[in-house]
Amino acid sequence: MEFYDTIKDLNWEEVTKSIYAKTDADVRRALGKETLTLEDFKALISPAAEKYLEQMALMSRNLTQKRFGKVILLYIPMYLSNECSNHCIYCGFNHNNDIARKTLTDDEIMEEIKVIKSMGYDNVLLLTGECPSIAGVDYIEHAIRLCRDHFAAINLEVFPMKVEEYKRMEQAGCNSVYIYQETYNEGRYKIYHPKGMKSNYKWRLGTPERIAQAGIHRVGLGALIGLEEWRTEMFFLASHLRFMTKNYWRTKYSLSFPRMRPAAGGFQPNFVMSEKQFAQTLWAFRIFDNDVEMSMSTRETSNMRNHFITLGVTSVSAGSHTDPGGYAHPDRELEQFHINDGRSAAEMEKMIRAQGYDVIYKDWDKTLR
């Protein structure tokens, strides 16, 4: 059975109603359990849980320290290409957007590697738009091989692939693959993804299963906050996580909750998640799954990221650029979106250590394998 089979008959509006119908008693019951169900998760992301946020924060801190210690992993994204054949209406890389397009050559990739290594990083996330005719499987596999002598961990956030193609990525040196569904609302998915590879809801939804089947160490899951009602979106994300951990238990999992940022095209969010609601979401997931890793990118403000270091996050990016070649030759016209926290790795490290946490630049899981 695929994950699609477990959610295809769920009605989005009915799920939303059931979340908003949760009571104080449901929240207290969830907070008193060691093993939570999806109904318990609904309670923790419901409006009824808002008066319990302080308790949830303390639980999240204690559970995270127990599982991961007082450690934060620093990683950095490296954009290889902004070419894209998709027409995602919210994305700066949208095929219709009039922006300069660029795909890095070998020499340009090596330039980026040199700058990133000078910043101290040993954990890199390689990203592209979705344009296999220009930055396809062969190109990405080659990029991994160029990077693997320079980084302890190489991660991908690219277009969905077949199992055999993911096996090639793993053999080349890929440690993790991150794939975000953007929205789990199948009925409205096509509105946001009218054309291109990404318009196939079911193919994208099944990607984490193919990644796990290929033997890749870690799978990253997430949804783009701003397209649909966020509480319902998070329920489906929790359902996806629970399905994957039960059926592919050898694989590690990571979550991200990217809130929409300004980008070329000017799309405005349909739903807004406040910082308080972001906190509720993160803490609900930590209580729901003690072992899942959670990252916080430069989409969020410096003040917000400072406060979450001790409260459940396990990894953060710093000194990020979202344009291909942006570390050696920054170019705002090539960006996927505008970042919110422009601090360097050194500045982030200083802030994290001031809170009594250690900073690592290497993926500890891969080191221990």
Q: Report the pLDDT value the prediction gives residue 329, as an integer from 0 to 100.
A: 87
For the cut 80, the answer to whether the pLDDT of residue 338 exceeds it is no
Q: pTM of this prediction?
A: 0.94
Total count of domains within the chain? 1
Average pLDDT over residues 163-189: 97
For the cut 90, the answer to whether the pLDDT of residue 157 exceeds it is yes
Q: What are phi and psi of 291, to 5 degrees?
A: -95, -10
Q: Report the pLDDT value the prediction gives residue 107, as an integer from 0 to 100.
A: 97
Q: What percent of the chain has pLDDT over 90?
A: 80
Task: Output 369 or 251, whichever has higher pLDDT.
Answer: 251
Instruction: Tell me the pLDDT tens digit for each residue of 78-132.
Output: 999 999 998 898 887 888 887 889 999 999 999 999 999 999 999 999 999 999 9
For the cut 80, the answer to whether the pLDDT of residue 267 exceeds it is no
Q: Tell me the residue range of the domain where 189 lies.
A: 3-368
3-state secondary structure 151-203: CCEEEEECCCCCHHHHHHHHHHCEEEEECCCECCCHHHHHHHCCCCHHHCHHH
For the cut 50, the answer to whether the pLDDT of residue 369 exceeds it is no
CATH code for the domain in which residue 263 is found = 3.20.20.70
- At residue 78, the 3 state secondary structure works out as strand
For the cut 80, the answer to whether the pLDDT of residue 367 exceeds it is no
| Alpha carbons 128 and 168: distance in angstroms, whole number | 17
Average pLDDT over residues 212-229: 96
Going by C-alpha positions, the residue among 256, 333, 325, 299 that lies closest to residue 92 is 333
